[in-house]
Structure 1
């Protein structure tokens, strides 16, 4: 099993109520039901306000590396990524659990 974590930092001048952010959140909220490779799916806003904190997070798991590739290449995932690329930067970690 592989855990896939992504932490998003909104770009300067981009707020949570920006229509692009709202669209990006909606796109990611739907992924759990759209991508069969996902064994688990969570996404949510950070609830703390610290200088090192990121704004939004994805936490999901897939069965193996092949499933991770299928998830990453899935059109619904790619559509969500395209939105977030315009409004944020992010860091990821993929590790075996």
Structure 2
């Protein structure tokens, strides 16, 4: 199995209630069930107020590297990524478990 973690940081001046952000969050929340390669899916706003904290996180799992690749290339995933590019930056980590 491959764990796929993504941490998002909203750009300076962008708030969680920005309509673009609301649309982006809904795009990612809706992926579970739309992309068959997803084995585990959760995403949520970070509740930590520490200065080094990111704002939003995705924690997901895939059967293998090929399944993760298909997910990354899936049009629904790419549509969500396109939305988030407008208002955030992110880092990822993929590891086997």
Q: Give the shorter-chain TM-score range.
A: over 0.9
* Structure in which a larger fraction of residues adopt helix: 1
Which residue of structure 2 lines up, in the alignment, with residue 72 of structure 1? Answer: 72
2:43 counterpart of 1:53:
no
Matched residue SS, 1:22: helix
| Divergent runs of 4+, >6 A | none
2:6 counterpart of 1:2:
no
Deviation at 1:62, TM superposition (A): 0.2
Which residue of structure 2 lines up, in the alignment, with residue 35 of structure 1? Answer: 35
Deviation at 1:33, TM superposition (A): 1.3
Equivalent pairs counted in the alignment come to 97
**Stretches of structure 1 lacking an aligned partner (at least 5 in a row):** none
Matched residue SS, 1:67: helix
Q: Distance in 1 between matches of 2:7 and 2:68?
A: 17
Which residue of structure 1 lines up, in the alignment, with residue 21 of structure 2? Answer: 21
Q: Please give the TM-score of this superposition, normalised by the length of structure 1.
A: 0.99
**Stretches of structure 2 lacking an aligned partner (at least 5 in a row):** none
Q: Please give the TM-score of this superposition, normalised by the length of structure 2.
A: 0.99
